[in-house]
């Protein structure tokens, strides 16, 4: 029943594939470059992962899962403002971390629109809870706000991919925070014009 054991660690090879797709994108990553980076011959790759497309799906699912872990942890913070700030801050650092490719695979790759929308959905759910909690003003367009945040994350990823530093990307994150509606009890810090 048993044959020759596989000479590579499937999980390690998959992680290497993630890195390649992350760094170069789906189209620009060739099977030859994958086999070289993974240290696996083409037939072994096809036996273990199907074909390039299914390998990409598995790789992007892995990436998505670990990304969502960090996001979900941030979304558990007590206020929506804290949660969003944490997500943006984490993203800025992750997108410019030394040793990993710049930017974010999920936010950059054209074929991962569904994952992006799933991310947006999770953020929106948290924002809606915040509205119910009185943490965000009633009437807050959580759909708009979540779409905005994903757009900002995307822009941050792009900035990192263009060679932006951690500080550059953090500046975007910081600036975006001003777009969050202040909680109902917060004061208006523009002193000159009481309406």
Binding positions for DNA, rule: CB under 7 A? 1-8, 29-33, 40-44, 46-48, 51-53
2 binds, among its own copies, DNA, none (CB under 5 to 8 A by kind): DNA
C-beta closer to DNA: residue 2 or 188: 2
Least distance to DNA from the beta carbon of 2, Å?
3
Q: Would you state the structure tokens that stand for residue 101, as one six-digit string? A: 């490719």
192 vs 27, 186, 188, CA distance in Å? 54, 16, 10
Write the binding mask 51 to 70 for its own copies: x where contact by CB under 8 A, - elsewhere.
--------------------
Long-range contacts of 23-31 (CB under 8 A, 24+ apart): 23/101, 25/108, 25/109, 26/56, 26/109, 26/111
182 binds, among its own copies, DNA, none (CB under 5 to 8 A by kind): its own copies
Q: How far apart are the first and last CA of the chain?
A: 80
Distance of CA 125 to the CA centre of its chain: 17
53 binds, among its own copies, DNA, none (CB under 5 to 8 A by kind): DNA
DSSP label at residue 163: T
C-beta closer to DNA: residue 21 or 63: 21
Dihedral sign computed on CA atoms, order 6, 7, 10, 14: negative
Report the residue from 31, 36, 61, 113 that binds its own copies according to the rule CB under 8 A. Answer: 113
98 binds, among DNA, its own copies, none (CB under 5 to 8 A by kind): none
Site for its own copies in 137-156 (CB under 8 A): 141, 143-145, 147-148, 150-156
Q: With b meaning 16 or more CB within 10 Å and e meaning fewer, what string describes 118-132?
A: ebbebbbebbbebbe
7 binds, among its own copies, DNA, none (CB under 5 to 8 A by kind): DNA
Which positions ≥6 away from 164 have C-beta within 8 Å? 96
Contacts with its own copies, residue ranges (CB under 8 A):
27-28, 107, 110, 113, 116-117, 141, 143-145, 147-148, 150-156, 158-159, 161-164, 168, 171-172, 174-182, 184-190, 192-195
């Amino acid at each position: 029943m048993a044959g020759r054991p596989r000479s590579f660690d499937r999980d390690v090879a998959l992680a290497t594939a993630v890195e390649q797709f992350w760094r170069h994108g789906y189209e620009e990553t060739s099977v030859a470059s994958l086999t070289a980076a993974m240290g696996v011959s083409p037939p072994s790759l096809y036996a273990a992962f199907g074909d390039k497309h299914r390998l990409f799906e598995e790789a992007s699912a892995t990436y998505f899962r670990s990304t969502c872990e960090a996001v979900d942890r941030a979304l558990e913070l007590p206020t929506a403002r804290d949660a969003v700030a944490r997500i943006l801050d984490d993203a800025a650092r992750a997108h410019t971390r030394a040793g990993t490719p710049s930017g974010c695979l999920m936010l950059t790759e054209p074929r991962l629109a569904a994952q992006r929308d799933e991310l947006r959905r999770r953020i929106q759910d948290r924002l809606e809870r915040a509205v119910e909690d009185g943490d965000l003003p009633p009437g807050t367009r959580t759909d708009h706000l979540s779409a905005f945040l994903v757009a900002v994350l995307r822009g941050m990823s792009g900035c990192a991919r263009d060679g932006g530093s951690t500080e550059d990307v953090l500046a975007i994150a910081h600036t975006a925070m001003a777009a969050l509606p202040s909680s109902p009890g917060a004061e208006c810090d523009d002193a000159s014009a009481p309406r």
